Structure 1
Amino acid sequence: MNENIDSKLNLESESSTVLSSNIVINRVKELYRKGEITLEEVKGEASGMILGAFETTALTVNHTLILLAMFPHHQELVFEELKEVFPAGGDFEVEYEDLQKLVYLDRVLNETLRLLPAVPISLRDVKEDLRLSNGVLVPKGVIMGIDIFNIHRNRDLWGHNADAFDPDRFLPDNIRQRHPYAFIPYSKGKRNCIVNMNQRTKYMDKYGSTVLAWIGIRPIIVSRDAKIAEDVLTAPQCINRISRLTKAMENIYGQGLMTLQGLR
């Protein structure tokens, strides 16, 4: 990996388009050349991008193909859209502008991520007392768990058929009618690290949308309520992911945005 990083740092920007400044590798090179990040931080970002993206991407592609095979009507619509955008077929380059035309495929991918998010929960340390919008005071030291899987299947947000596969949920008019935190496959707010945890669907269905559990001696509040998700993911008191997880990640692939704690 070191050789690849060294070669990239010595190259010019990866693209000459107007989007080039937003490409991660170009931004990292810019910060490194200005002396704003170290070589070790560059390596940490590279490792984080690889480890954080390859499995989630593979899972999402796999889930999408399975759902399209289960529902051939939607598969046919995706196929027709691809033929319309790429009529020539064969071997060709796919440009950013081409992807913007694949509106139905985009809805299919979003619906896949809704039903089967690659990572189903986001955990945050509460560093200071946090007052939620519903008036509940969450004390310092509690872990807040945003249950993305069950937020995405919450019938109060998605209707009685929340478990059904329906890409039209992501038509513009339907999106505007929903809470902005009803769909958070990559988390949301100030940080977007997601870790796995056993689902508590049956317990929540019986006792409500927010439950109290424990990780060792640490209390953890797990919620599938979109408004509580917004409260937690945007609160400065909850900007840090849990410290033990962060330390383990840092030991594996070094420092970077995925292991950053606090503000810089």
Structure 2
Amino acid sequence: MKKVTFAEFGGPDVLQLIDAEDPHAGPGQIRIAVRAAGVNPVDWRLREGQVLGAHPIELPAGVGQDAAGVVDEVGEGVEEVEVGDRVFGEGASTYAEFAVLSAWARMPKGLTFEEAAGYPSVMETALRIIREVGVRSGQTLLVSGASGGVGSAVLQIARDRGITVIGTAGAANQGYLRSLGALATTYGEGWVERVRQLGHVDTALDLAGSGVIRELVELTGDPQKVVSIADLGAPELGVRFSGVAGSMPEALAEAVDLISRGKLHIPVEKSYTLAEAAAAHIDSQAGHTRGRRVLVI
């Protein structure tokens, strides 16, 4: 099979598309014929060797953790899916023609493989940080860098829970944030005052790592009411950096529920082939994403 790997840490140019042996499902796992794989910031952070403490890896290593596809092998003890089922979920080395998943759910009707591949990690992250920041129905949540995959999920989950959201993003994404139910404003000079004009902020999330932790603490009045997934320096200011994953099965189940009720949709901004994995990483690192980026196999 074809598979994207890297043998050394570095820039996008270290990614290689190689011929590799097919993986096989162990106990409690399934193997899928991958139709699409999600591109997440953790993918290129691992490629650069940034987050090895939380995600230790051995080189050479595969890339990717999210995927959608068709079940073609079922491991021992797995009873809830069969060969031929359409599923999405989390595994390892998903930038490949075949991948083993350790958590999965059947795809909701009407969802394409490309769309489904974009949900697992962003849903787990969105649900986790909403829980960690402690925001409740009737309160206002500020989301800095709100137009990407995690932000798109946070905005829609919050709306379903009765939470008001103020989102910051580039000028081109203001309409997109409003379409997801958020009060929107641009980042850049004067953004703190623009946020204040939109309302009182109870809690805040930093999704972009753009150096705004001090301002988020100022707006909420308490570093304990701010959570970041993108600024490794956040703990120096008393702010929680959230990097330990929660329950993927629970995240997938909630995704299926919200999608099935018409309460959640994360668009695919751009698709790439396996051979274009480096280009996908370059675009992901550049930011300014609206929704998700995926590889199509």
**Fold-level similarity (TM above 0.5):** no
Higher percent of residues as strand: 2
Query: What TM-score do the two structures reach when normalised by structure 1?
Result: 0.25
Query: What TM-score do the two structures reach when normalised by structure 2?
Result: 0.23
- Larger radius of gyration, structure 1 or 2? 1
